[in-house]
Homo-oligomer: A and B are copies of this chain.
Amino acid sequence: MQACGIIVEYNPFHYGHQHHLKKAKEISGATCIIACMSGNFLQRGEPAIIDKFKRTQMAIDQGVDIVIELPYAHTVQHSDQFAYGAVNLLNELGVSSICFGSEQGDISSFFKSYQAYQENKEDFDSTLKQELALGKSFPLASNVAFEAIGLGHTNNSLDLSKPNNILGFSYVKSIHAIDPSIKAITIKRLQSSYHDQTITSPYASATSIRHELIKQQAFTATVSPTLPASSKHYLETYKHETGIWHTWEAYFSLLQYRVLTMSAEELQMIHGVDEGFEHRLKRTAKDVMSFQEWIDILKTKRYTQTRIQRMFVHLLTNTSKAAIHSIQVDKKAPYIRLLGMSQQGKDYLNQTKKNRTVPIMTQLNRNIPMMMTLDERATDAYYAVIPRHLRKQLRMQEFQPPYQT
């Protein structure tokens, strides 16, 4: 049995994801699809709209065979580290291919760019460093560095200013670093741009779908056509059970409380609080009345919304620089956390058992230090905004068997 890996957040699972899944099966020829999925907090520094357990069920119901969790230490990070963590885990599970969606949609552009990048890595790195020193944000500095080695979006077939091309490029780099025999596949995204806030077709972006769901707090005629019935079911069930769909605004009071009761020195120990940003946090915390207001006050060219959001996730989960540094993120994964599987997925795991050197964990286990501690904390911080009498049973899901069909 051959497996194809995909790297997902499913926030929530929509028709674009369904298309991706179908195409991944078709093109790879694999009979087992393994999704490496972000947990309760996501790559761009946001709480997922519903928890990882419900999102796992969405995925399995839609035809994914195995869902594993990308650990927190890899998830709330820039694209290279996110990609490395995910490809590393998929490789441990023996996938023959990895299929990702991109704005570009043609893998040869990725390979050409990768080759040029490899040949000019030193130039790229020195330009990147210069631009960062000039106060540019990481995405902007990367753009200039790509431009400098002939990979700018004006002169290259791969536009590396587009979010899914950037991620895809990181996947290709990680595949080369970890196991170049894994076949990289890309398909063109059908859904609108990641940054789109409005729904314009059934292939709407997850951002626009969430935007509409949160605004209306219901499945309106606008949003309904963009979601498979099973996604609607799980979104509805979660809200019915907990009373909420998660947004940053729900965590605003916790964040404000944290900043107001921490010293600048303590803030400075949080991963992502750099270059004196602790003082800006302290200065602004007392006057703000919403998360969005706070972001608007804090963000600059250098401190993008995504960067600040990631920092806020680390603050919420109390993730220190020391904790992140103690995890050797570029080394062998200490565990693979299994969240769900189909019968097909189960068969695959049984058949490939002998080849595996990394343990599969079906629940949280506190004997594995730091990386899993962060996963547990992320879960506790995530559920902190749920009514108090439900928290215990929700966190207990961490200790129950994986979802299985």
Contacts and interface: CB of A to CB of B under 8 A. Distances in A.
Q: Which of A252, A256, A261, A266 has the most CB of B within 10 A?
A: A261
A253 interface: yes
Secondary structure dominating the interface of A: helix
Nearest to A392: B287
State the 10 A-B residue pairs at the shortest beta-carbon distance, nearest first.
Answer: A260-B380, A257-B384, A261-B318, A261-B377, A289-B389, A261-B381, A289-B388, A287-B392, A253-B388, A261-B380
A262 interface: yes
Contact of A318 (B262, B287, B290): B262
A392 to B, nearest CB: 6
B388 A252 contact: yes
A50 to B, nearest CB: 20
A142 to B, nearest CB: 32
A343 to B, nearest CB: 33
Q: Which of A252, A260, A287, A317 has the most CB of B within 10 A?
A: A260
Q: Which of A287, A377, A388 has the most CB of B within 10 A?
A: A388
A392 B261 contact: no
Contacts of A288: 392
A395 interface: yes
B377 A317 contact: no
A395 B260 CA distance: 11
Q: Which of A254, A290, A381, A395 has the most CB of B within 10 A?
A: A254
B257 A254 contact: yes
Given A262-B318, A318-B262, A289 B392 contact: yes
A195 interface: no
Contact of A381 (B257, B286, B392, B395): B257
A388 B260 CA distance: 13
A262 B318 CA distance: 7
Interface string A379-405: 011001000110110010000000000
A388 B290 contact: yes
14 contacts: A256-B384, A256-B388, A257-B380, A257-B384, A260-B380, A260-B381, A260-B384, A261-B316, A261-B318, A261-B380, A266-B318, A289-B388, A289-B389, A289-B391
A257 B257 CA distance: 12
A243 B28 CA distance: 59
Interface in A251-284: 252-254, 256-257, 260-263, 266
A223 to B, nearest CB: 27
Nearest to A288: B392
A166 to B, nearest CB: 31
Contacts of A388: 252-253, 256, 289-290
A316 B260 CA distance: 11
Contacts of A253: 384, 388
Contacts of A289: 388-389, 391-392
Q: Which of A316, A318, A389 has the most CB of B within 10 A?
A: A318
